[in-house]
Structure 1
């Protein structure tokens, strides 16, 4: 007779605890019966693990389900003491900070104009501190989204060269918790992959227009950053008749096209897009040229990695731009079949991605304290 398989009780308890914590993070407050349904665990297992998690400060009572009778009616939720994570988006004009709890729920938000580069870390820390004034609990993790090249070790490269990881190191000291820095377009791609139009795609490249054009690629569900973080810098892809090294789409290009077509070169791209939407022929001609350039970039990317689709985000998700892209793609369909989708989040894609990564890091950091061997009960 074959003996039943058995494993260490600590391992089983760890797996059960992780399942319960993940269910509470995913669904919010649940009763024991609901946890049984979510995890597949028995009532006894749920009760035992909840007792340990509550003693360790991982979960807390969250009221009573009035529709259910008896002790099982008590709801439990993740303990508020698990703390918060900060999602930060630094764009070209402002800083945006959002505090989230382990479920990903937004608990506080603040914005501020962009200051001097040398004050960047202090300004971000001050904005996070403002958010923390309205909530109770420790700050466990910070995710910062920034334009430009971000290397795997958190070094930022811009027009002034690499910063040697100085921003991350300084900010880590000021906020007293781990800091992760990521390229803004990469985070937008992660947002689409996890909860947007990329969820059902095996691969895609997100093309985002803000002050310039950037790309973020997800292959097999994994973000492709490149060995040095350079993957996605498509704004400088060669595109005849433009000279080598000339940007394909940025503010200077928009200004030059506006001047060429008799529009105000001082206006930002959004003004021209809105004018295009109202039927302005000159603005339409500008947008058609920008769309042609973007489609050429997409064609080049297709010949290298052949993604299943391209996701248009930022200003590229404007209805007038989307329509122009589809027209430009139709003109080259005899050469390449390019599929374009519109971002589920538009201009908010980067912050959605930063929030998702911040909440995920917070959960992992918090849960590991309770499910690691010997970790139960160490807050």
Structure 2
């Protein structure tokens, strides 16, 4: 049965319930800035239409209609967020509330990337009684360059993951698929509920097997004209580089995992991981030398980003960035301020390894709600709602 389009005030009530979980009529009226009679009427219409359900009564000295709490019905549609990496595929499926209902990690095997992603989504959906064709959309976070229309353009070192993967995945899953750069999704997650939530602009710098950057300006993810924004591993690390746009001479060769592992080996630490070195105490001389060189190199990279973007904050993510923690971030910040006129705050990421999937769900959840409720999010215009979201 086709659902009707919600009015702006009906959408406002549903958004409040999605945000808070459940509310009484009185609480809804206060939060929405509406009269109690108007709120009562809105709630009843939403219950009758199947968008809202009563969840019982709260303890109260004076019992009555206001004691009943209501919640949004969140299983009307579902989306999946996926992270695809060389060693695993991670999937989370969410309903209209945007929080994962099920999560699954599937180690990579010899199957093609598209087949492996499809199998992981299939298994995750089955855990909550869904088929993949029941999903409204699947967002896949992938390394490499993703075009503005949501397909893979280029992934270094992965010749079997190329243009056309979106359509292959959509056909295999029986639902629409959108691809997005994984570092972009991690930045989007940090902007929603991590270290970018309280600033207008920040750059997330991912330090791992590969390196990448993603910038959020005024709440908007900067993708660039062709999707190459943030592919900083290709940027020449030194002016003397003979080849431009090559991972072998770019920042990837200077601060990627292979480069940091080489620094560790140069200090004679053949059985120690880069993460262990970055977390070692300052009293361990070899580790301290490696860390000092990592600080120097990453500080140069952060300075390069800062001179072009000038973000309020740089967030270090990825296995290496997060292993260094607050200590590495502080040392990088101090090195930049000591050696240059630049002033930039450097902090470790807050969300860890799940950030790509969180960002994938965040990317699609507003569109899912617009699809189900019919009223664009922008139409929700209550002054109380705008103020709570920080809008003018």
| TM-score band, normalised by shorter chain | 0.7 to 0.9
- Per the alignment, do residues 44 and 241 of structure 1 end up closer, same or farther by CA in structure 2, a change over 3 Å counting? same
Residue number in structure 2 paired with 1:300: 304
- Per the alignment, do residues 241 and 286 of structure 1 end up closer, same or farther by CA in structure 2, a change over 3 Å counting? farther
Q: What is the rounded CA distance, in whole Å, between the counterparts of 2:272 and 2:360 in structure 1?
A: 29
- Per the alignment, do residues 331 and 341 of structure 1 end up closer, same or farther by CA in structure 2, a change over 3 Å counting? closer
1:154 Cα deviation after fit:
1.7
Please say if 1:327 is aligned against 2:327. no
Q: What is the rounded CA distance, in whole Å, between the counterparts of 1:146 and 1:340 in structure 2?
A: 25
Residue number in structure 2 paired with 1:285: 289
Give the conservation status (yes or no) of the 8 Å contact 1:21–1:367: no
> CA-to-partner distance for each residue in 1:226-282, whole Å, 9 max, x for gaps?
111111111232223873432232232123223322122x764324334x3474322
Q: What is the rounded CA distance, in whole Å, between the counterparts of 2:323 and 2:264 in structure 1?
A: 19
Q: Which of 219, 243, 256 pairs up with 1:250?
A: 256
TM alignment of 1:39-78, pairs within 5 A: 39-67=32-60, 69-78=63-72
> CA-to-partner distance for each residue in 1:287-320, whole Å, 9 max, x for gaps?
3222211111111112112111211112344464
In the alignment of these two chains, the number of paired residues is 360
- Per the alignment, do residues 296 and 145 of structure 1 end up closer, same or farther by CA in structure 2, a change over 3 Å counting? same
Q: What is the rounded CA distance, in whole Å, between the counterparts of 2:371 and 2:277 in structure 1?
A: 45
Residue number in structure 2 paired with 1:349: 355
Residue number in structure 1 paired with 2:275: 270
Please say if 1:180 is aligned against 2:185. no
Q: What is the rounded CA distance, in whole Å, between the counterparts of 2:261 and 2:218 in structure 1?
A: 38
Gaps of 5+ in 2: 378-392
Give the conservation status (yes or no) of the 8 Å contact 1:65–1:74: yes
Residue number in structure 2 paired with 1:155: 151
Q: What is the rounded CA distance, in whole Å, between the counterparts of 1:359 and 1:150 in structure 2?
A: 20
Which stretch shows the higher mean deviation, 203-212 or 40-49? 40-49
Partner SS, residue 181 of structure 1: strand
Residue number in structure 2 paired with 1:232: 230
Please say if 1:111 is aligned against 2:105. yes
1:325 Cα deviation after fit:
4.6
Normalised TM-score (structure 2) = 0.82
Give the conservation status (yes or no) of the 8 Å contact 2:299–2:335: no
1:370 Cα deviation after fit:
10
> CA-to-partner distance for each residue in 1:153-205, whole Å, 9 max, x for gaps?
12211135696642221222233332222111111111221222222212111
1:349 Cα deviation after fit:
2.6
Q: What is the rounded CA distance, in whole Å, between the counterparts of 2:328 and 2:24 in structure 1?
A: 51
Please say if 1:192 is aligned against 2:185. no
Q: Over aligned residues, Cα RMSD in angstroms?
A: 2.9
Give the conservation status (yes or no) of the 8 Å contact 2:57–2:68: yes
Q: What is the rounded CA distance, in whole Å, between the counterparts of 2:276 and 2:299 in structure 1?
A: 22
TM alignment of 1:3-152, pairs within 5 A: 14-67=7-60, 69-116=63-110, 118=112, 120-136=113-129, 138-152=134-148
Partner SS, residue 82 of structure 1: coil
Q: Which of 207, 210, 213 pairs up with 2:205?
A: 207
Which stretch shows the higher mean deviation, 56-65 or 22-31? 56-65
Normalised TM-score (structure 1) = 0.84
> CA-to-partner distance for each residue in 1:350-373, whole Å, 9 max, x for gaps?
2332232243333232222799xx
Which stretch shows the higher mean deviation, 186-195 or 154-163? 154-163
Partner SS, residue 360 of structure 1: helix
- Per the alignment, do residues 321 and 63 of structure 1 end up closer, same or farther by CA in structure 2, a change over 3 Å counting? closer
> CA-to-partner distance for each residue in 1:42-64, whole Å, 9 max, x for gaps?
23322333333233322222222
Gaps of 5+ in 1: 1-9, 372-379
- Per the alignment, do residues 262 and 99 of structure 1 end up closer, same or farther by CA in structure 2, a change over 3 Å counting? same
